[in-house]
Every structure is written in C-alpha cells, then in structure tokens.
Structure 1
C-alpha cells in the first residue's frame, strides 16, 4: 500500500516547510492538500529574499486588459498573471514585494502574489508636517502659517501624480512607512500603515506648478535621501526633523540611490548607449559611490562592492540584494534592464526592444540572459517596467 503523505504529523510538516527556501516551491507545498496547508504559515518569515521578477511594460491608458507579464529570473520564463486590481491604476513604486498604486486621488498598496490590498490615508484630510521648509523659503514661520491658513489638504478635484513611491519595509512589519514624491503641493510626504493622515516632509515652495526636482529617493535608518537634477543629495532626518545638503558633481539623470546590503548609502552612476545592433554594449559603465557621513558628508568611489548585487533600470529604479542568496553566473554584480530603439511603426511612434543583461562592474563584461522580451513603447500611455521581489509577506 502506498503511504498516505497527508497523514504526516503536523510538527513534521511544519519542520519540512521551514526548510523550503524557494517561494514557488513553498506555494506548491501548501497546495498539496489541506493538512500540508494547515501545517505551514501563509506568511512565512524564513524565506530568503527571492530573485526579482521584471514586470514588462504595458499600455494602461484606454486599456481594460488586466493581464500582466513578469519575467522570472530564477526560472528564465515569463509568468502571465491576471491582476484586475491594476485596472486603471498607475504603478508608482515597487518595494519589498508590494506595488504602490495611484488612481485618481487614491493611493494604495498591492501584493501581486498574495493579492492583498492595503488602503492609505486620503489626500483630502489636512496633513501633519515635520516643519522642514523648502530650500528657497526665507521665513519658515510665515511659510507654515500660510500652509495652515490655506488648508494644505488637497482639493477633491485636484488631479496630481505620485511620481515615485517606496516602502521602508514590508507592510506586515510594525513601523513600515510609505513615502511618496508627488506633483502636488506636497512635494514629499509619508504615512505609516494605519495612519489617518499623511505627514508632509516638504512642501513645494512655488506650489504644484513648480518643476519636479527629485529624480530618485531612498530611506535608510530613518533618514530620507533624495537626489535632484541639479546634482546634490538632500538628507531629511525623519526622527529628529532636519535637512542637510551634499553637492554632487555628476550627471544626475543616470544616478540611482540604493541601500547597500550592509546599510550603506550607495549611488550608482550609469552612462553609455545601447543601439539596436548592440555594438556599443561594451561601453556601458556602472560606477558605484558610497555616501560617507564621517565628519563632512562626501561621496567616495567604491571599487569593491562586497556582497552587493545591483538590479538597475526599469522605472528609474535600482536596489541591491546580497550575493549570499543569489546564484548569478560568472560572478556578475549587476543585473540591468535595457531598451533599444527598433523602428517607427504605422502609428509613427517609436518602439523599443527590451532585454535583461548581466554585467561585471570591474571590466563591464556584458551577457544577455533573457533574450528579446518583446517590443514596447516608452511614453506617458505606457507603464514602465518595474522590478518586483516576489514575497508572501
């Protein structure tokens, strides 16, 4: 008689489940039968961070299709997920396995693996503020007084965008913050899960029509770092509200702010060109700098990135994972997403081919690992690609 694996003791099943390290295998384990599912946690905390998926671009304006395509690096295949929760919403950030969605005046969190959704405070409720004045404000007392008089809540008819958003940890963790950079009067704001109102970190000194001057942001140990096109980093202490600026002499359009696996603040400088025939792939360069806070803040070029493996590109996004849990061929230290112009079709719009490549930071050796992922447009009607670290938390 064949053994009945469903009758294994629950404590043994739990022990086996806690030794599974692949998210896909863990989901399969829980799908075997009811006893196996009951013995394993739906929110396992033992799983290591998984290799990211890349959500491919899709047209979201005037498109009711809810199917989204994700390239899985670990399986080297594309997953097709039906996600009706994304209909009509723009994805303005991806952190810790969650998307930050914005539709109209509503911002929410969505986990595409568990399908969980978390509502965030409405923008029509007057916010709190940290009391950090914008750069060009001479009298902070008058400035914040005007904000109170004018009721800094956003009007229900005011259309605005969330330009970029991030989470400081999984929303399942106590103290998780959601930080947004918007095109509204609230230049930077944050909330914690369960808050009834947003807290404004900094208002636009010239109102919502001011040019948006932040191209990347990252929050590390209670300090928000922002990078703007005028080549300086601004550090906002969210615990003891204050602001510090650091000049940065480089072309900031190609710089990403990243939290290193050891908690360092890293900046990735990327420049180069990729043509349709890929003849210039070898000229793409990634340079890494570390923000040092010893005495006067300064940037120091890093030659050894230690255990950091960088994932670059896709929605102007970059992050680092530890090489302890990754198996990338050829000791690669950079996985990056590139697009190259292909042709103008009958609609007279430019279309681009998309690929994922591996790179070494020491000699910039480049390897194509995904092949051609298809042709897409890059404009305001298309959602840019985004990296997603799939998670059950």
Structure 2
C-alpha cells in the first residue's frame, strides 16, 4: 500500500542547519557536486567552495600537444577539451578549458595547473574545476636576484627561459599558503636551467634564488620544492642544498648515503615536512638502477618505452628529511601512504586512512603501454599501473587512456588533485 502524499517526507525543505551539517560530512568532491545538484535549497545551504574536504583522490591528466598554429591537427581546431581520468569512478572527465589553448600545462599543485604560453609571453595558474585563474609574471621581463638589492643586478629573462620554453619549462610548482593570501609565495623549478624562481601574486617579475657558480658547475639537479620558508634543491648525485627565504646568505648542504646517489630521487612535500621518494629497479632486471635514472632523462618521444601488462619492476622507498641535522630517515611503515607518480617527476602522496577505496603501501604510476587488442598497434597509449612498495611488482590497472602525442614536447601526464579552493 502506497503512503499518502501527506506522509512523504519533503527532503527539499530540510532545515538549513541540517543540510549544512550533512554537507560537511561529504568527503569526495564528486559526491559534493552531486549533493549540491539535488535541489536548489540544498545547493543554497552548502558552500560553493568547501574548505572541509580533505585532499582528494587524484585524477590523471592526459597529455595534449599545445599547438597554437594548429599545424599538428590539420583542419581540426583545438577546442580546449582536456581529459582527466578518475580511476576511482572509472570515468573520463572532459573539461572545456580554453585557457589551455596554445599553452603548455607544465605542473600541478593543490588543484591548480601552471600554464606557459609560447615563448613565455604569458604564465598563469588555472583551477580546472572553477576556471579561476591567476596571472603570474611572464618569462619576458628581467629577473631579480634573491638577496641582492642592486638595481643593476638583473638578468634578461631570455637568458634563462627562452631556450627552454618548449621543453617542460616548469618542472615543479609549489606555493606556501592559500592563493588568496597576498603573502603567498609561488615557487617554480626549471630543471633544465638548474634554477629556482619565485614570486608573489601581483609581482611583475620573477626572483631567482642566487646560487654560486661552484654550486652548479658540472651538476644536474633532479628536483626542487619549497616548505616552511626554505627552498630545497636536490641533484641527481644525491646532494641536497637548502636556501632560507629570510636569510639569503645561509646555505646548508647535505650529501645522501652512497646507496642513494645513483637512483632516481623525487622531493615530496607533506604536512610533516619534506620527503624523498626513491625509485629503484628491482634485482634481476636488465640495466640496473642506472637505467631507471636514465629513463627519466630520455626524450619522451622515444617509442621504445612501451610497457607490458606486468609493468615496470621498480621498488619504492620513502624517506623523511630531518630538518635539524639535514639527515634522512627511512619510513618503514608505509601502510597508510599511497604515492602517485607521473611524468617529469610529478609525484604526490595521499593518506589512505582518509579513503576506503585506497590501499596503503602502494603506488599508482602513469606509464606508456601498448594498446589493448583491437587497437592500432602503432599508437602507444597511456595506462595506470599499481605497484606494491615493498616488492616492486606492478600490474596494469587500466589502459587506452588516450594516445600519446606523436610530436614532442607535449604536456606531461600528471596527477591532479581536484579542488574548489
């Protein structure tokens, strides 16, 4: 027997306080969007930019070729549609982002992408979900030097940027606080120039962290980050340099142990400090650990890197930097940590305790693989592999996430944490 209409609960007109309390219990950004779409009263009672959401499960941004002249696509114009794969929903999100047309998407951080236009004439941060964007200084203005007050101590931007505009000009992005804070510091790392630059919202030019010639002579730097007033710069050889924002003349140098000097190392910023992700090739694989480090430096257009269903055999170790001594401590219990690894040293970690769908002690890695049966064997595609941190065994989770652009450079495949703030 059906209930009479008077007995049906009017869910659309729950007390506003009750709706707000319920909305604050929602953790997933996808579920939050669905919650606000139920009806107008629910939408009005919930905040459009929720601050209670934890760091989200990442999506994989599929690479695209930034072709302002449309020479690559022929008669097909770039419509600005960018693809983000949600592994947890098994869904490909298609976002219309015309701001990305003709610009290289270089890196992501806290839900924002950094875009660089051809020849560096425009640099901006973009939130793909809200379409909010923040203009940063272009790479065409003179560069200041950190810690030097002389007006004539400036460098033409073209000296640092112009030869590298097309080659992943920015390989790392970080900022100190929420971007709404006028004192928020934005750091970018240019791996190919071995330099760290920073600015604040509203600045008209970049400031370069001053490095002595002897510090960079015959040295290749693998990664950099910013945390709690300090810039961290890590070389391939395992030498870590720390520069202090409030004390330009103070520099700290630390050399990693010998066993960590010839492996791939990635700096990872966390709530409790700075971490180092070490990637080792497991025993029995041809090429040794040096092959892993070399793979990260190879031209991404090399088609010989197509994977198999077993995936790359790489063992992952996690270390934490000890700020007082600049030493490192290996984290043996990674049961609540999940690492996401993409192109060009894009790496982030999520606490698996916050998500029922997430397994700890593992890594999800983007990798180029062969297409599935029935697909054109001549076109390499993107896939996601699941790797256990302790034994390095990888298994293909999903493939056919879009063909790899045949021209290089293309925007790197990167993990992106969706955010409304």
Q: Same fold (TM over 0.5)?
A: yes
Deviation readout 1:351-393 (Å, 9 max, x if unpaired)? 5332212222122343332244243147623211011000001
Cα drift, residue 202 of structure 1: 2.7
Cα drift, residue 330 of structure 1: 5.5
Distance (whole Å) between structure 2 residues aligned to residue 76 and residue 97 of structure 1: 20
Moved more, 247-256 or 75-84: 247-256
Give the aligned CA root-mean-square deviation in angstroms.
3.4
Residue 355 of structure 1 is matched in structure 2 by 383
Q: 2:281 aligns with which of 237, 252, 271?
A: 271
* Compared CA separation, residues 184 and 300, structure 1 to 2 (3 A): closer
Residue 71 of structure 1 is matched in structure 2 by 85
Residue 284 of structure 1 is matched in structure 2 by 314
Residues 1:42 and 2:48 aligned together: yes
* Compared CA separation, residues 39 and 330, structure 1 to 2 (3 A): closer
Q: 1:322 aligns with which of 351, 358, 366?
A: 351
Deviation readout 1:317-375 (Å, 9 max, x if unpaired)? 11111122133466442222222467xxxxxxx85332212222122343332244243
Q: 1:111 aligns with which of 127, 143, 151?
A: 127
What stretches of structure 2 of length at least 5 have no aligned partner?
A: 286-304, 372-377
- SS of match in other structure, 1:12: helix
Residues 1:254 and 2:264 aligned together: yes
Q: 1:240 aligns with which of 236, 244, 247?
A: 247
* Compared CA separation, residues 358 and 53, structure 1 to 2 (3 A): same
What stretches of structure 1 of length at least 5 have no aligned partner?
A: 132-143, 343-349
Q: 1:364 aligns with which of 379, 384, 392?
A: 392
* Compared CA separation, residues 199 and 51, structure 1 to 2 (3 A): same
The alignment covers a number of residue pairs equal to 370
- SS of match in other structure, 2:42: helix
- SS of match in other structure, 2:320: strand
Residue 135 of structure 1 is matched in structure 2 by none
Distance (whole Å) between structure 1 residues aligned to residue 199 and residue 82 of structure 2: 28
Distance (whole Å) between structure 2 residues aligned to residue 333 and residue 183 of structure 1: 27
Distance (whole Å) between structure 2 residues aligned to residue 233 and residue 26 of structure 1: 41
Cα drift, residue 118 of structure 1: 0.9
**What does residue range 83-232 of structure 1 map to in structure 2 within 5 Å?**
83-103=97-117, 104-123=120-139, 126-131=142-147, 148-149=151-152, 151-152=154-155, 154=157, 159=162, 160-161=164-165, 162-168=169-175, 169-173=177-181, 175-182=183-190, 187-202=195-210, 205=213, 213-232=220-239
Residue 95 of structure 2 is matched in structure 1 by 81
Distance (whole Å) between structure 1 residues aligned to residue 406 and residue 195 of structure 2: 25
8 Å Cα contact 1:186-1:204 kept in structure 2: no
8 Å Cα contact 1:21-1:48 kept in structure 2: yes
Residues 1:12 and 2:18 aligned together: yes
Distance (whole Å) between structure 1 residues aligned to residue 124 and residue 191 of structure 2: 17
Distance (whole Å) between structure 1 residues aligned to residue 31 and residue 232 of structure 2: 37
Q: TM-score with structure 2 length normalisation?
A: 0.76
Deviation readout 1:13-50 (Å, 9 max, x if unpaired)? 22222222121121122233333222211111111111
- SS of match in other structure, 1:369: strand
* Compared CA separation, residues 4 and 156, structure 1 to 2 (3 A): farther
Cα drift, residue 307 of structure 1: 2.9
- SS of match in other structure, 1:163: coil
8 Å Cα contact 2:173-2:188 kept in structure 1: yes
- SS of match in other structure, 1:44: coil
Cα drift, residue 82 of structure 1: 1.8
Distance (whole Å) between structure 2 residues aligned to residue 150 and residue 290 of structure 1: 37
**What does residue range 294-305 of structure 1 map to in structure 2 within 5 Å?**
294-295=324-325, 297-305=326-334
- SS of match in other structure, 1:383: coil
Q: 2:65 aligns with which of 54, 59, 67?
A: 59
Residue 333 of structure 1 is matched in structure 2 by 362
Residue 295 of structure 2 is matched in structure 1 by none
* Compared CA separation, residues 42 and 181, structure 1 to 2 (3 A): same
Q: TM-score with structure 1 length normalisation?
A: 0.81
- SS of match in other structure, 1:355: strand
